[in-house]
Structure 1
Amino acid sequence: MSYQKLVPEAKEGLNKFKMEVANELGVHFTDYNGNLSSKQCGSVGGEMVKRIVNQYENNLK
């Protein structure tokens, strides 16, 4: 099965967002993240989702 990216331009923006959140949380992402715990990586992803949902909910108002 082959997947097609719906918005290829979004990758760069999401990577920038990920790095901003990681820096705020004190998680130091690099090209190799094998030295990071699942908790550290998960905290970044969870915070990203939280912020995206909050922004979406605020836009509904």
Structure 2
Amino acid sequence: MSKQAINPNAVKALNQMKYEIANELGIGNNITNDKSDLSSGKNVFYGGYVGGAMTKKLVEMGEQMLIDKNKKD
């Protein structure tokens, strides 16, 4: 299997979305702060919370793209 290069613009966009979602959820400061003093449970909570919200948002975006594409066809 060949390794694909990661598009830096995609990485930047996903990181930006992560911070926006974290701010919407009221945990924006917890994303940027040093987490070395937090328990593993807290880190999992914040990571899972933001990751789940990101996944939901990406699915919504994908659904909208499919709807828009089908309207054009």
Give the TM-score band, short-chain normalised. 0.7 to 0.9
Listed as ranges, the matches of 1:1-61 within 5 Å are 4-27=4-27, 28-30=30-32, 32-34=34-36, 35=38, 37=42, 38-61=44-67
Cα distance, 1:31 vs structure 2: 5.1
Cα distance, 1:23 vs structure 2: 0.8
Cα distance, 1:4 vs structure 2: 4.7
Larger helix share, 1 or 2? 2
Structure 2 spans left out of the alignment, 5+ residues = 68-73
Task: Give me the whole-angstrom Cα distance separating, in 1, the residues matched to 2:65 and 2:10.
Answer: 19
Runs of 4+ in 1 over 3 A off after TM superposition: none
TM-score (norm 1): 0.76
Structure 1 spans left out of the alignment, 5+ residues = none
Give the structure, 1 or 2, with the largest relative contact order (CA under 8 Å, sep 6 or more): 1
In our comparison, the structure showing a higher alpha carbon Rg is 2
Number of equivalent positions? 59
Question: Secondary structure of the residue that 2:35 maps to in structure 1?
Answer: coil
